[in-house]
């Protein structure tokens, strides 16, 4: 029996000719990632191992991004702790404020991850890099410590679900709508410890930012990872961002999948996930009247330059509804500068929104926009659990940047389609 894309990446890194679903393997990793929340625990565990150096100072990345710029003394102490560790161990890829960004956008931008890589990260959305045809997955802080020490990690080889993408999405349908549609279809445990593998002619209509968004939210379906077939768009992105050697792994024609879904992109409507699960989805036509208090556009899911352009294009020349708070957060410093150079920040601020420094911020109820009791937010983030963005009595509605920006103008969840008139 043939292998899936994920299985081929894992076999190559385990030094095996083949692997099968359920098999336990020890594999070499190309990169170990941590942030300001997870790395302090990993550093403490690393020190218990009793070794002097990380396995490869160029293959460890530490990105303080969750409570950065520091929101309080505890956050500042956590960052100090990992900053000192990075200096002590001469870790090359430590990104301080001013050069940092949200980790899952920063690493591809810096060319630290490429096709065929195996990446572990002490953050559940490490699965983002599957957009590049890499195997990447979230791990615990103790696994991060072991990875920093040995350059290896244990895995149970996942089985896979295949998503055959066909058709062309409509004007206002983005990768966020596609992945919300899929999660709504299969459920938050619909791909539990499985690989979500994307291929098909419809891929040509999904840009890299769409793919990053979809791979990012594989974990919201319970998946071990998401991974996309490598095509010309992937190779062009790699050529622009990375000089690392890479290997393209294609699924075998006789690869075994637990399920196969054909997703017609042309039939997908702008989609919103209602509280309090990402699979509680409704199309924009089914939303009804949902009055909101806040809009957040950003995060590792939707802080890309295309997302900022989409939001600015909708907000330009218009005004945010009275009493609505709108926070736009670029994913990296490079994206921030690009938005500045293109005049997008001016359009956003003049509309009555604010533009933030790169940070995870309110996505996890961190800072810079958490919600009070009874408040509702439309957010381009990836989770809408109880209390995710602040008070347990608040509500988060997940949507695309287009829906979020349109909603900012009306004060209720709104389709961007009406703006065409």
pLDDT tens for the chain, 421 residues long, are 799 999 999 999 999 999 999 999 999 999 999 999 999 999 999 999 999 999 999 999 999 989 988 889 999 999 999 999 999 999 999 999 888 899 999 999 999 999 999 999 999 999 999 999 999 999 999 999 999 999 999 999 999 999 999 999 999 999 999 999 999 999 999 999 999 999 999 999 999 999 999 999 999 999 999 999 999 999 999 999 988 889 999 999 999 999 999 999 999 999 999 999 999 999 999 999 999 999 999 999 999 999 999 999 999 999 999 999 999 999 999 999 999 999 999 999 999 999 999 998 888 888 889 999 999 999 999 999 988 989 999 999 999 999 999 999 999 999 999 776 4
Supply the pLDDT for residue 418: 77
With 0-12 / 13-18 / 19 or more C-beta atoms within 10 angstroms meaning exposed / middle / buried, residue 302 is buried
With 0-12 / 13-18 / 19 or more C-beta atoms within 10 angstroms meaning exposed / middle / buried, residue 200 is middle
Give the side-chain half-sphere CA count within 13 A for 91. Answer: 28
SS3 content of the chain, % helix, strand, coil (to 5): 40, 20, 40
- Distances in Å between the Cα of 280 and the Cα atoms of 32, 36, 183, 206 are 33, 31, 9, 24
Question: Which of 88, 93, 83 is closest to 31 using CA atoms?
Answer: 93
- The single residue listed with the structure tokens 């359920």 is 22
Strands 325-328 and 354-355: parallel
Output phi, psi for 216, to 5 deg: -55, -40
Compute the distance between CA of residue 271 and CA of residue 360 in angstroms, rounded to an integer: 23
Question: Which of 7, 216, 218 is closest to 116 using CA atoms?
Answer: 7
Supply the pLDDT for residue 421: 47
Domains of the chain: 5-264 (3.30.499.10), 273-420 (3.30.499.10)
Q: Positive or negative, the Cα torsion across 386, 387, 392, 396?
A: negative
Supply the pLDDT for residue 364: 85
- The single residue listed with the structure tokens 């572990």 is 120
pTM over 0.85: yes
Q: What is the DSSP string of 271-302?
A: EEEPTT-TT-EEEGGG----B-SEEEE-HHHH
Question: Which of 360, 356, 357 is closest to 382 using CA atoms?
Answer: 360
Q: Positive or negative, the Cα torsion across 370, 372, 378, 381?
A: positive
Compute the distance between CA of residue 413 and CA of residue 86 in angstroms, rounded to an integer: 44
- The single residue listed with the structure tokens 């509605």 is 397
With 0-12 / 13-18 / 19 or more C-beta atoms within 10 angstroms meaning exposed / middle / buried, residue 254 is exposed
Question: Cis link prior to 151 (omega < 30° from 0)?
Answer: no
Residue 3 tokens, joined: 């292998």
Give the H/E segment covering residue 49. helix 39-49
Supply the pLDDT for residue 365: 84
With 0-12 / 13-18 / 19 or more C-beta atoms within 10 angstroms meaning exposed / middle / buried, residue 70 is middle
Question: Which of 253, 260, 305 is closest to 108 using CA atoms?
Answer: 305
Compute the distance between CA of residue 305 and CA of residue 156 in angstroms, rounded to an integer: 36
Supply the pLDDT for residue 420: 60
């Amino acid at each position: 029996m043939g292998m899936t894309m994920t299985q081929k990446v894992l076999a190559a890194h385990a030094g095996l000719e083949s692997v099968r679903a359920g098999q336990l393997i020890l594999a070499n990793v190309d990169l170990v990632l941590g942030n300001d929340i997870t790395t302090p625990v990993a550093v403490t565990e690393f020190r218990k191992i009793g070794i002097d150096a990380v396995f490869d100072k160029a293959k460890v990345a530490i990105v303080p991004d969750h409570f950065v710029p520091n929101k309080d003394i505890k956050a500042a102490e956590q960052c100090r702790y990992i900053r000192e560790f990075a200096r002590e161990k001469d870790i090359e890829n430590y990104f301080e404020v001013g050069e940092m960004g949200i980790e899952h956008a920063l690493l591809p931008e810096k060319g630290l991850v490429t096709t065929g890589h195996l990446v572990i990260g002490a953050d559940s959305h490490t699965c983002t890099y599957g957009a590049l045809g890499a195997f990447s997955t979230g791990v615990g802080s103790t696994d991060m410590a072991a990875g920093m020490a040995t350059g290896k990690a244990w895995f149970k080889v996942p089985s896979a679900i295949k998503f055959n993408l066909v058709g062309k999405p409509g004007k206002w349908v983005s990768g966020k709508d596609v992945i919300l549609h899929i999660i709504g279809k299969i459920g938050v445990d619909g791909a539990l410890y499985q690989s979500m593998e994307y291929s098909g002619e419809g891929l040509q209509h999904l840009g890299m930012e769409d793919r990053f968004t979809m791979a990012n939210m594989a974990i919201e379906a319970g998946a071990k990872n998401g991974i996309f077939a490598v095509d010309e768009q992937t190779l062009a992105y790699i050529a622009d961002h990375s000089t690392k050697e890479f290997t393209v792994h294609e699924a075998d024609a006789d690869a075994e999948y637990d399920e196969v879904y054909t997703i017609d992109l042309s039939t997908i409507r702008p989609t919103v996930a209602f509280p309090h699960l990402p699979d509680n989805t409704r199309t924009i036509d089914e939303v009804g009247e949902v009055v909101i208090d806040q809009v957040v556009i950003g995060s590792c899911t939707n802080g890309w330059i295309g997302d900022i352009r989409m939001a600015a294009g909708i907000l330009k020349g218009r005004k945010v509804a009275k009493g609505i708070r709108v926070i736009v957060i670029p994913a990296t410093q490079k994206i921030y500068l690009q938005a500045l150079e293109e005049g997008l920040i001016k359009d956003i601020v003049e509309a009555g929104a604010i533009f933030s420094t790169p940070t995870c911020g309110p996505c996890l109820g961190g800072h810079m926009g958490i919600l009070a009791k009874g408040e509702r937010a439309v957010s381009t983030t990836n989770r809408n659990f109880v209390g995710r963005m602040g008070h347990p009595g608040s509500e988060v509605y997940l949507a695309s940047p287009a829906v979020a920006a349109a909603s900012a103008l009306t004060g209720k969840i709104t389709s961007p389609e009406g703006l065409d008139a």
